């Protein structure tokens, strides 16, 4: 049971607002020591995991480029584009992005999107601009809700779209889990059966985003003097 201490450390660290990287590192060390490993073995395991997954750090190379684009006015250009579209609304924009993100993920193009490279510099500002064009200046709670909805659209579309692509790691994970429980399923069959789930996700989240426009209209009417 002592090996579960890492979960408690993560929970306490998140609630207390400590640095997430520090909390996860401490939890990993405590869990390893509780499992009977020496400190040297724990550090070696962390180093090996970092080395095996070092490609994840490639995303940090993109951030400076995004920062330079934002400094050069990328968000302003995105807002100006939306302001020229008379029928654009936050919900419609996010539905369109959800569909494109899901289709791209279904083709294995999971890098065509993401929180850092797409949502923050483009999608969220465009969604905010669509609401500003209709309602005027937005209060902070509404602005934060739009940003959260933009992030959610990206996450949900990717999650339910990538399983359609047969060469995705998630397909191998599902197949391995089922095989471990005595259920043999071919990867192609998993990809095919991921299509109905993706369609349902598109419909359900599309309705949520369609309702978002109405909800925002009521909210802005309530806050206006």
Is position 57 within any domain?
no
d(CA 92, CA 99): 11
159 and 94 in a common domain = yes
Is position 152 within any domain?
yes
d(CA 191, CA 165): 6
Per-residue pLDDT tens, the chain, 225 aa: give them: 777 788 888 889 888 888 888 888 888 888 888 888 888 888 888 788 776 666 556 656 666 766 666 666 666 766 676 666 667 788 989 999 999 999 999 988 888 888 878 888 888 888 888 888 888 888 888 899 999 999 999 999 999 998 888 877 777 778 888 888 888 888 888 888 889 999 999 999 999 999 998 888 888 787 765
Is position 154 within any domain?
yes
46 and 138 in a common domain = no
143 and 101 in a common domain = yes
> What pLDDT is attached to residue 54?
60
> What pLDDT is attached to residue 147?
92
Is position 207 within any domain?
yes
163 and 73 in a common domain = yes
> What pLDDT is attached to residue 218?
86
Is position 105 within any domain?
yes
**CB hemisphere CA count around 195 (13 angstroms):** 7
| Long-range own/partner contacts, residues 77-84 (CB < 8 A, 24 or more apart) | 78/121, 78/122, 78/125, 78/126, 78/129, 79/125, 79/126, 79/128, 79/129, 79/132, 80/129, 81/126, 82/126, 82/129, 82/130, 82/133, 83/129, 83/133
d(CA 73, CA 44): 44
How many structural domains are present in the chain? Answer: 2
67 and 48 in a common domain = no
Choose among 170, 168, 164: nearest CA to 193.
164
Is position 191 within any domain?
yes
75 and 47 in a common domain = no
81 and 159 in a common domain = yes
202 and 100 in a common domain = yes
Question: The tokens 């750090």 sit on which residue?
Answer: 57
153 and 101 in a common domain = yes
Domain of residue 47 covers 2-52
153 and 98 in a common domain = yes
> What pLDDT is attached to residue 139?
87
122 and 172 in a common domain = yes
């Amino acid at each position: 049971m002592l090996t579960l201490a890492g979960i408690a450390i993560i929970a306490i660290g998140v609630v207390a607002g400590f640095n997430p990287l520090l909390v996860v590192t401490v939890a990993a060390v405590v869990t390893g020591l509780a499992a009977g490993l020496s400190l040297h073995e724990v550090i070696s395991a962390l180093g090996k995991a970092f080395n095996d997954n070092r490609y994840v750090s490639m995303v940090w190379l993109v951030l400076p480029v995004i920062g330079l684009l934002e400094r050069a006015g990328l968000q302003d250009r995105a807002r100006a584009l939306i302001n020229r579209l008379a029928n654009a609304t936050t919900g419609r924009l996010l539905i369109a992005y959800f569909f494109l993100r899901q289709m791209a993920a279904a083709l294995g193009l999971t890098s065509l999107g993401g929180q850092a490279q797409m949502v923050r510099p483009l999608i969220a500002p465009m969604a905010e601009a669509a609401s500003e064009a209709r309602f005027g200046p937005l209060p902070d709670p509404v602005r934060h809700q739009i940003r959260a909805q933009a992030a959610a659209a990206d996450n949900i579309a990717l999650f339910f779209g990538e399983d359609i692509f047969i060469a995705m790691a998630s397909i191998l994970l599902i197949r391995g889990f089922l095989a471990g429980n005595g259920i043999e399923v071919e990867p192609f069959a998993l990809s095919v059966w991921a299509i109905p789930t993706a369609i349902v996700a598109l419909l359900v989240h599309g309705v949520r985003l369609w309702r978002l426009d109405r909800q925002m209209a009521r909210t802005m009417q309530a806050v206006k003097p």
